[in-house]
């Protein structure tokens, strides 16, 4: 019998990328547990083999449903890969409540099921738990950087990480954790920075840069995030945290200007809009542990090439993003950004 993975949030951007990666690189069967919030879509699983992927629509904080799905995960190699989250900082600044429910209560509910059944658990988290770095500091985040989250989103992700660590130490849950930098690639929701600007440019609308645009993010292709998670699931040491990054630091201004170039526009054809409150200046990952201990390396390290392919994907998949675009922009308009 092939191994069986329960992937929470598997109908979202990174979850669906991970499911595709698992199908392509292993013989595992996957059950996706996803609430199909505004950020999840059955379209993200479209075309995948139905004998290997099953979608269960539901909430990770529903203890009875989680019990039903985790109880059968008793085979060698079976695992929960926990990807579901409320994931957008801007939303968390306007209504933190779903972030507490999903990121904290949801993670707790899954951990309790993993504890009852002795199920292997991998927790997918973010570099934002470490707060911000100075723009010109030589440091990058490592596994020992102290937690210092800034937003309700990153605070709830930090809390979820600490729950996982406590369940390892106090209850012996067989968990690993990963904290990854900013992802880009196909199927990312149009509320996020890169898809927002690409789809606006397709519509002839100027990109919108928060504040000065000097903030730095460390970009990694979602496919590389997925390959790193599978590597950690298969080779990572229980109780350990691994930082995932691909040396992709760029300022937001640089990203917008690269997009403008790729899409045939002048490099100053964008607008500055009011900054995000509490906006972290810089994130940067030192992935040495993951590379040296587990032998992982990214397969798409060229950000400009990955971005060009991503632009191409959004150009070819308007039917995928169009239904979300007007509502996402209306939300931004209400927030003055």
The active-site residue, picked from 127, 218, 223, 329, is 127
Residue nearest to ligand NAD (CB): 12
- Interhelix angle for 107-117 vs 63-70, to 10°? 40
CA distances from 219 to 131, 184, 301 (A): 16, 7, 9
Torsion angles phi and psi, residue 37, rounded to 5 = -70, -175
Interface with ligand NAD, residue 250, by CB under 6 A: no
203 given a catalytic annotation: no
Residue whose CB is less far from ligand NAD, 28 or 39: 39
Query: Does residue 102 bind ligand NAD (CB under 6 A)?
Result: yes
Evaluate whether 217 touches 182 at the Cβ level (below 8 Å): yes
- What pairs with residue 63 in β-bridges? none
From 34, 86, 132, 153, active-site residue: 153
- Strands (E) across 245-290 are located at 249-251, 271-273
Q: Which stretch binds ligand NAD (CB under 6 A): 57-65, 196-204, 276-284, 315-323?
A: 57-65
Provide the pairing of β-strand 4-8 with 29-34.
parallel
**Strand (E) or helix (H) holding 227:** helix 222-235
Q: How many residues belong to the site for ligand NAD (CB under 6 A)?
A: 32
Asked if 195 touches ligand NAD (CB under 6 A), the answer is no
Q: How far is the CB of 91 from ligand DAU (least distance, A)?
A: 9
* Residue from 182, 215, 241, 310 in contact with ligand NAD (CB under 6 A): 182
Known catalytic residue at 223: no
- Does 59 participate in binding ligand NAD (rule CB under 6 A)? yes
- 61 makes contact, choosing from ligand NAD, ligand DAU, none, with CB < 5 to 8 Å by partner type, with ligand NAD
Q: Which of 215, 286, 304 is nearest to 247 (CA)?
A: 286
Is residue 85 part of the contact set for ligand NAD (CB under 6 A)?
A: yes
* Residues binding ligand DAU (CB under 6 A): 87-89, 126-128, 181-182, 192-193, 196, 208-210, 215, 217, 252, 276, 283
Q: Which residues contact 51 (CB under 8 A, 6 or more apart)?
A: none
List the single partner that 196 binds among ligand DAU, ligand NAD, none, CB under 5 to 8 Å by kind: ligand DAU
CB of 146 to ligand NAD, least distance (A): 19
Query: CA nearest 199: which of 30, 321, 56?
Result: 321
Q: Are 154 and 126 in contact (CB under 8 A)?
A: yes
Which of ligand NAD, ligand DAU, none has residue 91 at its interface (CB below 5 to 8 Å by kind)? none
Q: Exposed, middle or buried by CB within 10 Å (0-12, 13-18, 19+), for 245? A: buried
Choosing from 34, 78, 86, 128, the catalytic residue is: 128
**60 lines the binding site for ligand NAD (CB under 6 A):** yes
Residue written as token pair 């308007």: 318
User: Active-site residues: which are they?
Assistant: 127-128, 153
Question: Where do contacts with ligand NAD occur on this chain (CB under 6 A)?
Answer: 8-9, 11-15, 33-37, 39-40, 59-61, 83-87, 102, 106, 124-126, 157, 180, 182-183, 189
């Amino acid at each position: 019998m092939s191994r069986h993975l329960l992937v929470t949030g598997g109908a979202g951007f990174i979850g669906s990328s991970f499911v595709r990666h698992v199908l392509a690189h292993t013989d595992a069967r996957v059950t996706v547990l996803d609430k199909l919030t505004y950020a999840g879509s059955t379209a993200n699983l479209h075309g995948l083999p139905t004998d290997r992927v099953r979608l269960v629509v539901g909430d990770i904080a529903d203890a009875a449903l989680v019990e039903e799905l985790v109880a059968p995960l008793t085979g060698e190699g079976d695992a929960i890969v926990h990807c579901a989250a409320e994931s957008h900082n801007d939303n968390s600044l306007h209504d933190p409540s779903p972030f507490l429910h999903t990121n904290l209560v949801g993670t707790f509910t899954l951990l309790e099921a993993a504890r009852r059944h002795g199920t292997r658990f991998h927790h997918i988290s973010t570099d934002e738990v470490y707060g911000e770095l100075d723009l010109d500091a030589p440091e990058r985040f490592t596994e020992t950087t102290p937690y210092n989250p800034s937003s309700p989103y990153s605070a709830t992700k930090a809390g979820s990480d600490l729950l996982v660590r406590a369940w390892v130490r106090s209850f012996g849950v067989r968990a690993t954790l990963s904290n990854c930098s900013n992802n880009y690639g196909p199927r990312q929701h149009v509320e996020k920075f890169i898809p927002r600007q690409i789809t606006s440019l397709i519509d002839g609308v100027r990109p919108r840069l928060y504040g000065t645009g000097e903030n730095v993010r460390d970009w990694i292709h979602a496919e590389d995030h997925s390959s790193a998670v599978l590597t950690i699931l298969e080779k990572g040491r229980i109780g350990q945290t691994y930082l995932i990054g691909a040396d992709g630091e760029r300022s937001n201004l640089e990203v917008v200007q690269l997009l403008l170039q790729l899409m045939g526009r002048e490099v100053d054809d964008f607008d500055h809009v009011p900054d995000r409150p509490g906006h972290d200046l810089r994130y940067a990952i030192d992935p040495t542990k993951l590379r040296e201990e587990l032998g992982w390396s990214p397969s798409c390290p060229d950000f400009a090439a990955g971005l060009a392919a991503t632009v191409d994907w959004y150009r070819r998949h308007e039917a995928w993003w169009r239904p979300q675009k007007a509502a996402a922009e209306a939300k931004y308009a209400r927030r003055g950004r």
